[in-house]
Structure 1
Amino acid sequence: MQEVRFKNRTWDVAAHLRVPEGFDENEKYPAIVCAHPISSCKEQTSGSIYAERLTEQGYVTLAFDASHQGESGGEPRYLEDPATRVEDFRCAVDYLMTLDYVDEDRVGVLGVCGGGGYAANATMTDHRIKALVTVVAANYGRLMREGDLSADAAVATLEAVGKQRTAEARGAEPHLTTYIPDSPEEREKAGITDVDIVNAVEYYRTPRGQHPNSPNKLRFSGLEAAFGFDAFHLAEVLLTQPLQIIVGDVPGGFGSYRDGFELFDRARSEKKDIFVVKGASHYDLYDQPKYVDQAFEKITPFFQQNL
């Protein structure tokens, strides 16, 4: 594994580049860009689980930190901006195109959770990407609009965001909120029992998956763009590449089960498949071998056939 950097506009995006065993720089290899979930980083599931395993199967892999997050550059910090997240993919492919040992006609993308939604959006408009896998893909815009199960609540949040932006424009300190409760104790105290939130806290805020580059911080004044974003917009027109969707059949508040079926229905791809991992929740497919192994029973032949 090598630590590398590539540009998105004027800042550096930090990434881990992996090459397979027996690598020969004079050969040509298929390559896969691996994208992390929202609030995550390259050291967690996208890199340590999916990129690592794909590299073992013979692929060059590139797992990157989203701009404004992790070890990547970009100001302001802790910004979750859909347009920039999608551009990160295009810049990642740009970087792969500069590597002589990457076969430019065999580049794929795999995205997990929000990274899967962004991966689908990027694949629609970057047809250098020849094959797409989404693992528990979540449509971040839909989640933001419906998270409170009320259009009025979404509008109220936008009103609050607007007031915070005005305050910051006048010199106030940025307001940093959290994606999830900061500990299992905090979650229990709040009385939150949704399976996705329970498992998110266990993954991100305990030794199971915790990493300092994933600090559970979100810039509140940067939320406006997400409310108007649809990761699957124009999929029925522009998403033509082969598509493999992986979801678990234990639904939770993040909605990746329903999002997976929506993407499947909307994608124009002639070659597409959705695989439901029985008994798996959203976070089981981040790192639990029993369920990740089942996902790879589909992912492995899919990339073999399409890259």
Structure 2
Amino acid sequence: MNTNTAPASTPRLDRRDLMKLTGAGAAVLAAAPLFNLSNAKAQSMPADWDKTFPKSEKVDHQKVSFRNRYGITLAGDLYLPKDRAGRRLAALAVGGPFGAVKEQSSGLYAQTMAERGFVTLAFDASFTGESGGEPRNVASPDINTEDFSAAVDYLGLHPSVDRERIGVIGICGWGGMALNAVAVDKRVKAVVASTMYDMTRVMSKGYNDSVTLEQRTQALEQMSRQRWEDAANGTPAYQPPYNDLKGGEAQFLVDYHDYYRTPRGYHPRAVNSGHSWTRTTPLSFMNMPLLTYIKEISPRPVLLIHGEKAHSRYFSETAYAAAAEPKELMIIPGASHVDLYDKVDAIPFDKLTSFFNRHLAA
């Protein structure tokens, strides 16, 4: 990992300033794991099961791969109902959270929805997890939007899928990517964004749009000059580890730590579980708003799900106001942002099932 510092003449934001600017915190940047998951969960998980949730006996699971429009090979976990009996079923592409891998929240959503009768595909974003792409751990609002459409490509060619009945679920930062993808990909018939972040908004303006023009300019100056360092070194520099709690952090940072850095949700391939994004990752997000064309999802339905107590709730409320009908905003009483990653008593799977059954009907 390249950790060279900038020339003395270049202003350098400290970690708290950068976190405020990018809106990163634990959602975007990583922190070192506290202990080894394989030891912590060895007694509760099958030896060949690398997920953070128990394996279901109601579905068949396959490791798959497919390519996106940019030629990057993506890795996925395909879940199929055991009782499919040769029928072509409705299907769901599932991605997120931002900086997570398919073995975490997206896999839990995918497996649970497969238990409820859908063919589902949880996949790793380009440049992360088991998917291809170099350098590692870089994100792009365009390429990651394309990743969803590539998943739809794969599902539409699968013999167990009715290609006219495909939906999308995006979680956290991939909720924004999902909405962005469905706005242009007319093959998708319905979309759900759960505990959604608009990553371009939070990286451009910080949480609650609190970043000033001066702060934004300073960060862009720093990242622009970082490109020369990366080019000279032939490899990108990476953000320092985040979420090393020292006391006094906001509750949402404590919540991220509790998911990504404990056996509850830790996975060694996740950016947020012991790695970090490149220092220049925010550049494209700060210049390309994701939800510009959210109205063009209509007449296809949008369901936004968010926790009542989530620090990020305003992202879904803003997206809901901007979207055209048919649309719905479902607020989960008492739930935080991270509760909708893996707490099955908080995630409204019954609502997800009825929503997609209705809008992906044969």
Q: Which structure has greater helix proportion? A: 1
Query: Who is 1:109 aligned against?
Result: 168
Which residue identity is paired with 2:177?
A: Y
CA RMSD of aligned residues (A): 1.5
1:33-44 paired onto structure 2 within 5 Å:
33-44=93-104
- Per the TM alignment, residue 172 of structure 1 is displaced from its structure 2 partner at its CA by 5.7
Q: Distance in 2 between matches of 1:166 and 1:143?
A: 25
The unaligned stretches of length 5 or more in structure 1 are none
Please point out which of 212, 220, 245 is paired with 1:158: 220
Once superposed, which parts of structure 1, at least 4 consecutive aligned residues long, lie more than 6 Å away?
Answer: none
Q: What is the TM-score with the length of structure 1 in the denominator? A: 0.91
Cα deviation, residue 158, structure 1: 1.2
Tell me how far apart the structure 2 counterparts of residues 79 and 282 of structure 1 sit (CA, whole Å).
Answer: 23
2:82 is equivalent to residue 29 of structure 1: no
C-alpha displacement of 1:32: 0.2
> In structure 1, what is the Cα distance between the partners aligned to 2:242 and 2:162?
40
Q: Alpha-carbon deviation of 1:177?
A: 1.1
**Partner deviation per Cα, 1:138-192 (whole Å, 9 max, x = no partner):** 10011112227223222211111111101111226421115741xxxx2225x32
Deviations along 1:106-165, one digit per CA (max 9) or x if unpaired, are 000001000111000000000100000110111001111222722322221111111110
Code of the residue aligned with 1:164 in structure 2: it is: Q
How has the CA–CA distance of structure 1 residues 136 and 12 changed in structure 2, closer, same or farther, with 3 Å as cutoff?
same
Query: Cα gap change, 1:162/1:284 in structure 2, threshold over 3 Å: closer, same or farther?
Result: same
Paired residues, what number? 293
1:3 to 45, 63, 72: 63
Output the CA distance in 1 between the equivalents of 2:242 and 2:256.
7
Q: Structure 2: any 5+ residue segments left out of the alignment? A: 1-60
Contact kept, 8 Å, 1:109 with 1:131, in 2: the verdict is yes
For the pair 1:283 / 2:330, whether they are aligned, the reply is: no
SS of alignment partner, residue 169 of structure 1: helix
How far apart are the structure 1 equivalents of 2:306 and 2:240? 25
> 1:209/1:165 Cα in 2 relative to 1: closer, same or farther (>3 Å)?
same
- Specify the SS of the correspondent of 1:110: strand
Corresponding residue for 2:355?
A: 302
Call closer, same or farther: CA 1:58–1:82 in 2, change over 3 Å: same
TM-score, normalised by the number of residues in structure 2? 0.78
Aligned partner of 1:16 in structure 2 is: 77
**In the alignment, does 2:237 pair up with 1:175?**
yes
Deviations 1:64-119 (A, max 9, x none): 00000000001111001111100001111111121122101100000100011100
Residues 99 and 135 of structure 1, relative CA distance in 2, 3 Å threshold: same
Q: Deviations over 1:259-302 (max 9, x none)?
A: 1111111112x32111100100000111113212xx22321210
Aligned amino acid, residue 211 of structure 1 = H
Question: How much has 1:238 moved relative to structure 2?
Answer: 4.4
Identity in percent:
35
Once the two structures are superposed, the pairs formed by residues 1-307 of structure 1 within 5 Å of their partners are 1-8=61-68, 9-24=70-85, 26-47=86-107, 49-147=108-206, 149-151=210-212, 152-171=214-233, 173-178=235-240, 180-181=242-243, 186-189=244-247, 191-192=248-249, 194-216=250-272, 217-252=276-311, 255=312, 257-268=313-324, 270-292=325-347, 295-307=348-360
Distance of 2:93 and 2:119 partners within structure 1: 9
CA contact (8 A) 1:140 1:229 kept: no
